[in-house]
Copies of this chain bind each other. A is one copy, B any other.
Amino acid sequence: MSTSRPSPARTSRGPRPASIARVPGIDYDVLDTLLGYALRRAQIAAFDQFYRATAGYGITPPRFTALVILGANPGVSQTALAAVLGIARSGAMQLTDWLVGRKLAERRARADDGRAWGLYLTRRGAALAAELKRRVRAQDARLGARLTAAERRALLRLLDRVAE
């Protein structure tokens, strides 16, 4: 076989499929008692599910978040988007460039403020957002498959309190 890869549906390079299975014979010491470490492990599992749900779309968690936020908040500014994502404005700009470059979103001039853009999903972006929301929701349900509905609610509530 040559070096060319058929690559079934691998548009994205998958930033982090990193599994983090327990290594047998290793003593994890204090790590097993830390909330922070348990969170990290759970989040890696969540990332894994997320990438499985969005394989082939080139979507990362921040990109998904951006699509959802633009869909629910038409006309939002890049600075607001940056605040939601907890990243620098320059990063929000690159993210927006990515979305615009794929015709998923567009920048429109604002009447009230000549400095800022209003960000909007295109029809294509809205369709993708809907599709991804469906997929991510399904995979998220699978993530909590080992939990009862009540446990799932409890976990969500506990996590919210930890996050402040």
**Chain A residues proximal to chain B, CB less than 8 Å:** 18-21, 23, 26-31, 33-47, 49-50, 61, 65, 68-69, 71-73, 76, 80, 83-87, 133, 136-137, 140, 143-144, 146-147, 151-152, 154-156, 158-164
**B72 pairs with A29, CB closer than 8 A:** yes
12 contacts between A and B (CB under 8 A): A26-B80, A28-B72, A29-B72, A30-B68, A35-B159, A36-B49, A40-B61, A41-B159, A45-B164, A147-B161, A154-B158, A155-B162
Would you call A35 and B156 a contact (CB within 8 A)?
A: yes
Top 10 closest pairs, chain A to chain B, by CB? A20-B86, A29-B72, A36-B46, A41-B163, A38-B159, A27-B72, A18-B86, A42-B159, A42-B163, A155-B158
